[in-house]
Amino acid sequence: MYRRIAAILFPIAVIALIGTVVWGYQENQDKNAVLIKAENQYQRAFHELNFHMDQLQDELGKTLVLQTRPSMANCLTNVWRLTYAAQSDLAQLPLTLMPFNKTEDFLSKVGNFTFHIGLRDLDKQPLTDKEWGTLRALYERASQVQTDLQKVQSQVLSRNLRWMDVELAQATEGKKMDTTIIDGFRKVDNTMDAYSEVDWGPTIHNQEARKKQQYVRLPGKPATVQEVKNKLAFVLGRPTTRGIVVTENRKGDFQTYSARLKREDGHMVYADFTKKGGYLVWLMFDRPVERQRLSIGEAQQRAMRFLNRLGYPTMRAISYDSSQRTATFTFVHQERGALIYPESVTVKVALDNGEIMALQANDYVFNHPVMKQVYRPRLSAKQAEKAVNPRLNLEKSNLAVIYGEDGNPVLCYEFVGWLGDDQYRIFINADNGREEFVDKVKKADTTTL
């Protein structure tokens, strides 16, 4: 009887054992396949980071010697693209537990700095000596970062180092692991402290200081990756989110999502959203614009319709810059007749078909939630005008909100006038008649609308 039972159960046990072995082998194979795929993705991102940093160094070097405006504009655009690409590469590496925020912050500021310069007409407003000095400092720093990264890359290739070991080393305490890659990236990040502070200019300094304070005041809940994809699809007028790639930037003064999309024509679209609230802070893509078919007025209408579709309140175009068959408009929020200058938006429009090529909304996004309702002046325009130099030939006046010396918004009367051949803007406090700010309008400034 036992022999009969054994004869029945033994084949079943053997089959079960074989099945277990096969299942275990398949599971191990699947696990190895996942690990190999992850390692390949890390290696690709790392080598692309080196490639993009090498190109970034080259392009920054070119900005120091170029003279012609079109070449300089293209070079600055390339620098901006490459800083974004390098940040995207870093986001794909397992560096979450590694201090690398200084280098990421450096790349972000390089992108912002070159973006702002690249938007203006360099024929009318060429680089200042201070801006040239900043570009030189950036070139020197990028050169050192690239040298250190190349050393890490050389060790990775010669010793067949794996990024999966980096993840394991960061997650394992008290166990000896090869930390060559980690040590190399730490050296790269520490390089940022070895140089004197870069003079980014007032635009970037003010922008960074206010962002730190104002990010926490943004209304709304943290956005998800899918919500950001949906938002970008809406902004671009696309029916689906297919092809949109979103990465989360956890480090820095505030958290953001970076999104990118390769369009059907091969051109890349880049955008950044705040994680809190999911607000679009900038959007950009570049393509050749061969022929101008739209007037400046028509392009302005396209930009205005774009802002209306995105839900912006009443915005007024105050100036524009036209170059290379594109027009870049600056809009500010208008409330009860007052121009709220801190709430500004820049929109770049292609003059061939009216396509939106860039949006810079940092100032609006971070300033709008904290602007006080200070749009009712105590003084009349006539009373405030008494504080203006009588030698100034006044042309126009209007209410405006600017930041005062203490960093708080101040309601002013803005007076625009001429003294000889020079034009000035004088901002007089609408509550006490104090002179808050005087600005000489340079002839190279963008055209006033």
- Give the chain's domains with CATH numbers: 24-199 (no CATH), 225-368 (no CATH), 381-448 (3.10.450)
The band of 59, judged by pLDDT with boundaries at 50, 70 and 90, is: confident
Residue 402 has pLDDT above 80, yes or no: yes
Residue 404 confidence (pLDDT): 77
Residue 24 confidence (pLDDT): 58
Q: Which carries the bigger pLDDT value, residue 106 or residue 328? A: 328
Residue 339 has pLDDT above 50, yes or no: yes
Q: How many CB atoms lie within 10 A of CB 93?
A: 20
Q: How many CB atoms lie within 10 A of CB 231?
A: 22
Lowest average pLDDT, out of 33-42, 304-313, 389-398, goes to 33-42
Q: Which carries the bigger pLDDT value, residue 105 or residue 334? A: 334
Q: Identify the CA nearest to 412 among candidates 346, 355, 339.
A: 339
Q: What is the pLDDT of residues 371-399, one digit of tens each?
A: 766 568 999 999 999 999 998 999 999 99
The overall average pLDDT reported for the chain is 79
Residue 207 has pLDDT above 60, yes or no: no
Rounded Cα distance between 256 and 409, Å, is 26
Share of the chain above pLDDT 70, in %: 74
Share of the chain above pLDDT 90, in %: 30
Residue 202 confidence (pLDDT): 53
Residue 318 confidence (pLDDT): 87
Which residues are bridge partners to 393 per DSSP? 418
Q: Which carries the bigger pLDDT value, residue 125 or residue 143? A: 143
Task: Give the pair of three-digit tokens for residue 368.
Answer: 């709008």
Maximum average pLDDT range among 30-34, 107-111, 127-131, 267-271: 267-271
The band of 160, judged by pLDDT with boundaries at 50, 70 and 90, is: confident
Q: Which carries the bigger pLDDT value, residue 171 or residue 153? A: 153
Those residues whose C-beta lies under 8 Å from the C-beta of residue 59, and which sit 6 or more positions away, are: 75, 78, 79, 82
Residue 445 confidence (pLDDT): 46
Rounded Cα distance between 393 and 305, Å, is 36
Residues 199-225: what's their mean pLDDT?
68
Q: What is the pLDDT of residues 230-274, one digit of tens each?
A: 999 999 999 999 999 999 887 656 788 999 999 888 888 989 999
Task: Give the pair of three-digit tokens for residue 253.
Answer: 């003064």
Residue 444 confidence (pLDDT): 42
Those residues whose C-beta lies under 8 Å from the C-beta of residue 41, and which sit 6 or more positions away, are: 92
Residues 26-34: what's their mean pLDDT?
53
Question: First vs last Cα of the chain: how many Å apart?
Answer: 103
Lowest average pLDDT, out of 124-133, 343-352, 357-366, 419-428, goes to 124-133
Which residues are bridge partners to 414 per DSSP? 398, 427
Residues 327-345: what's their mean pLDDT?
91
> Is the CB of residue 440 less than 8 Å from the CB of residue 422?
yes
Residues 2-10: what's their mean pLDDT?
59
Question: What pTM did the predictor assign?
Answer: 0.57
Residue 8 confidence (pLDDT): 63
